[in-house]
Amino acid sequence: MAKNVAQSPLERSNLASLDHKLAMAKRCSQEGVVAGAKAAVVATIATAIPTLASVRMLPWARANLNHTAQALIISTVAGAAYFIVADKTVLATARKNSFNHFSNTEA
């Protein structure tokens, strides 16, 4: 179908609905990214302090946790925090938007 053909009102309505859904999905994912990044920063700090302190104070940690192991511990916790919080935020935002959309269609 050519692009210059006039669209029916139903097609325009479906395209508007699709554009709205895409915008909502983009906003949900953006909120998830921001929340995940904040959680990753907090998790990095909360993990780095005890990890680095234990390497200085505990003989076992000093002998067995080299720089690579320390970085792996800290980055694993930060990554897990990012993905968990981002996923939960996207789902919560989508659920909230779904309820808002449902209540708006009933009115």
Residues 45-60 have pLDDT tens digits of 999 999 999 999 999 9
> Taking all residues of the chain, what is their mean pLDDT, rounded to a whole number?
86
Structure tokens at 65: 């946790």
pLDDT in the model for residue 16: 72
Type and span of the H or E element at 12: helix 9-57
Write down the residue that tokens 């938007």 correspond to: 97
3-38 residue pLDDT tens = 555 566 656 677 777 888 888 888 889 999 999 999
Judge whether 23 and 50 are in contact, CB under 8 Å.
no
Judge whether 66 and 72 are in contact, CB under 8 Å.
no
Q: How far apart are alpha carbons 89 and 68 in whole angstroms? A: 31
Most confidently predicted of 18-27, 82-91, 95-104: 82-91
